[in-house]
Amino acid sequence: MSIPLNPSCQNCKDRFSSIFCKADQNNLEQIDAAKVCSSYKKGQVIFHEGAYPFGVYCINDGKIKLSHSGDDGREQIVRLVKAGDIMGYKALLSNERYTATATALEDSSICFIPKDLFLNILQSDASLSFEMMRILSSELRKAELKITHLAQKPVRERLAETLLFIKETYGLEEDGHTLSVRLSREEIANLVGTATESAIRLLSEFKKDGMIELEGKKIRLLDMPEIIRTANLHD
């Protein structure tokens, strides 16, 4: 493993998929000069709920979860982040402390872009700030949909929906069935918004019904049509 510590943005493998593909060359060079790239081990925390933000993080490689911790200490995962995505912008833009904790789901490589630079570029680059608005709108849309489902759908449907969501976010392995992320049952439950035991029980049911296959933390989606039907997503 020889990940360069500060790879150039111009060669970044995510430069066409990330928000910065909209930035102009000049700004890209500025970011390149100021950014700091670091490696994080699985389980390591990138930033903590309650801390003050000093910049944004751009995922070069890896997978991250963003989670709130409720009053009783149980965590609620609010977003899954992948390579090419940025995180930490919400706190920066609203000028408040982080409302979520970012934890690496696997070994990850993440670039840090200082607050002032990011905000300056955002002010000067209209297409970049438009892209930022698009991202925010899209996240907001997803969040509102999740609110409706949490309020109205039973756990079983939400679990099926969550499996589909994980697939959409992180994709499948080469076999075309296995989710390419390893989550604990507790993390799945915290994504669905239910108790760990309920998540486990329903996963077993799904397995018994032939919808999925379980092997440790590996989850294979077998009967996609049935999963979609269970999630109650026909459109």
Partner DNA sequence: TTTTCAGCTTGACACAAGTCATTGGATGCC
Partner DNA sequence: GGCATCCAATGACTTGTGTCAAGCTGAAAA
Residues of this chain that interact with a second copy (CB under 8 A) are 68, 70-72, 74, 76, 78, 89-91, 93-96, 99-100, 122-124, 126-127, 129-130, 132-134, 136-141, 143-153, 193-194, 232
Q: Which does residue 195 touch among a second copy, DNA, none (CB within 5 to 8 A, set by kind)? A: DNA
> Given the complex with DNA, which of 35 and 158 has the nearer CB atom?
158
> Given the complex with a second copy, which of 60 and 190 has the nearer CB atom?
190
The pattern of x and - marking residues 206 through 225 that bind DNA according to CB under 7 A reads --------x-xx--------
d(CA 179, CA 167) in angstroms, rounded, equals 6
Q: Which amino acid is at 191?
A: L
Q: What is the dihedral of CA 24, 30, 34, 37, to 10 degrees?
A: 40
Which of 165, 196, 222, 229 touches DNA (CB under 7 A)? 196
How many Cα atoms are found within 13 Å in the side-chain-facing hemisphere of 176? 2
Q: Which does residue 150 touch among a second copy, DNA, none (CB within 5 to 8 A, set by kind)? A: a second copy
Structure tokens at 67: 């989670």
How near is the Cβ of 104 to DNA at its closest, in Å? 14
> Given the complex with a second copy, which of 71 and 174 has the nearer CB atom?
71
Best CA proximity match to 39, nearest among 107, 117, 94 = 107
- Contact of 54 with 35, CB cutoff 8 Å: no
Sign, CA dihedral 178-181-187-193, equals negative
